[in-house]
Amino acid sequence: MAQRVALSEGGNKKHSRVRVAVRLRPFLAQPDERDDGPCVRGLDSQNLEIINWRNATESVKYHFDAFYGEKTTQQEVFLSSVKPILPHVLNGQNASVFAYGPTGAGKTHTMLGSSEQLGVIPRAVREVFNLVNAKDANEGWDYKIGMSYLEIYNEKVLDLLSPNSQDLPIREDKDKNIFIPGLTHITISSFSDFDSHFVPASLNRTTASTKLNQRSSRSHAVLLIKVVRTWRALHHRQQTGKLYLIDLAGSEDNRRTGNQGIRLKESGAINLSLFTLSKVVDSLNSGTAIRVPYRDSKLTRLLQDSLGGSAHSVMIANIAPEYKYYFDTFSALNFAAKSKLIVNKPFTRETVAPPVLTVKRARETHEAQEAGTEPQKKRQKEERKTEQDVPSSSTSVQSLSESSVMDRLIVLEKLMMSCQDKDRLGMLKDVAQSRKEIQELKEKQKELEIKAMLFSRLAGEKAGTKPVFKNTVAPLQRKQPSATKPSRQQAVVQPLQVLELQPLQQLAVKVKKQSVCVKRKDRKIPEQAEPPDGKENTMQTEWESQLDTSVLEQSREKILQVLNTGSLKELKGLQQIGDKKAKLILGWREINGRFTKVEDLVKVEGMTEKRFSSFMKANILSAMGK
């Protein structure tokens, strides 16, 4: 089963503020209109000013990440604002670019452009292919690129690659990722392949003519470019990055556009979604809102990852210089100023599936046995009879060993994912060394089992009975009165405890109460003596030595993971950790960083060595009892 791993850059989640750029289109005064000049002008590459409508002698100044004047080319916009965020997509992170502004301000021109002046969308897709082709073949990753294209028209999600589809739902998975079931996804291998699908799909987008714009977009268009890279050494490890390229429909003043009928309904849906977008921005900036209204609109639901989510986001606000657009421009600048205060938290999305260990089926073994010759079947029958007389635990040991190997491999896999590429070669060497050690331990374990079996057979022959092996500790034996004692007791040998790890407390009680002796004439040789009164049993003081090494390491690793990444609620879920102690751990972690080992817990205020020992014992036993 696949495990979802979210790895942040540098070990901590890196904050990324929404970058906002403003683009001013050229002045387009009509011959029959009074030429009052522009109402807005740029001051430098980051600042601009607009006339104050309350007092024409004053102006309102704005500062953004970038300002593009009337003569700025499409290439300059792309290189400055869009290109820097594209490498994140190849590293398993999300990125988002969307154009905002009133109708007729040039949003579609910025995003799509023309055959002579390509816009952001074709340039960004071409750059993604260039980045993938520039990757070193020895890097160890294989890349696959796919695309989806949709529009939101009258609050309906429509698939532009499959125009006959109906309204599609928007869903959210358990990892808080937004997705659309049933949306067409096409794998593309080159930019020409992308262009052959994108151009026909763009013609399916809903547009219409209004008084302010001959080709006005009546819907919000979203292009999704998905990049999946797979590590060649471990094919079950994948990183997925998504690039959202969004061309928003413009807000409209129906008194100036002259919308009626269907155009009026479209305008109402567009303005409502943009109003909800403004509420989302206000809610994120306030920092006190209990609920951010993402679900109030299909548009904001899709932008949930771009605003306040985990994407590297760029907003290009398009404005017009004419006085008739004054209030639309003023509103767009205010919205852009609020949007640049939003902070996202990008992180790498990685999917890891544990390796599948092939286990030989009992049916295949049976068929292989049936295919043997008669002498072989007779010998196998005798061997099975011997195994029934002395039950072997090899199957259970093998299952436990494979489970232990898988757990250790998964832990090492997570460590490799947290390393940089240059450190992974060393991690692979550690994996090989670990596998070698595990194999040596398994061989040593088999030798010990053979010795125990031989010893039990010898003891059984001397006692005149067959040896008996069990997978658990022998049941408690009450000391019988001397009058009812049998004349001769058979030796009971404890089997090697490798199959089941019993709860430590039960094991300690059994060993403390049990005293098994071998009676030979008048001499008694105690095998297990009861400790003197008032002294603690050594098995209870050195309890860790009685546990399987892999289980103990796994338990310590889980405790360390909760200490480093657990929330207040998860820390309180640990044994002997209350609300006060959990807050002290969070405070220590905030000041000093991650715990390098579980023993660092003693550095937390109030955690003594004795309390730490009790804490570890309680949590490991609790994990084993589940």
Are the CB atoms for 221 and 98 separated by under 8 Å? no
3-state secondary structure (DSSP) of residue 232? coil
What would the 3-class secondary structure string for 345-367 be? Answer: CCCEEEEECCCCCCCCCHHHHHH
Q: Is 199 exposed, middle or buried (0-12, 13-18, 19+ CB in 10 A)?
A: exposed
Alpha carbon dihedral 404, 408, 409, 411, in 10-degree steps, equals 140
Residue 607, both tokens? 């955690």
Binding residues for ATP: 101-108
Pairwise CA distance, residues 216 & 207, whole Å: 5
DSSP at 287: S
Are the CB atoms for 411 and 510 separated by under 8 Å? no
Pairwise CA distance, residues 313 & 98, whole Å: 8
Are the CB atoms for 222 and 244 separated by under 8 Å? yes
296 Cα distance to chain centroid: 27
**Contacting residues for 227 by C-beta, under 8 A, at least 6 apart:** 89, 90, 128, 132, 143, 144, 145, 240, 241, 242, 243
* Residue 119: φ, ψ to 5°: -90, -165
Q: What one-character-per-residue DSSP string does 455-470 give?
A: HHHHHHHHHTS-----
Binding residues: 101-108
Are the CB atoms for 336 and 100 separated by under 8 Å? yes
Pairwise CA distance, residues 408 & 482, whole Å: 52
Q: What one-character-per-residue DSSP string does 111-147 give?
A: HTB-SSSB-HHHHHHHHHHHHHHTS-GGG-EEEEEEE
Are the CB atoms for 17 and 328 separated by under 8 Å? no
Pairwise CA distance, residues 19 & 340, whole Å: 6
Q: How many CB atoms lie within 10 A of CB 205?
A: 21
Pairwise CA distance, residues 98 & 312, whole Å: 12
Residue type at position 315: M
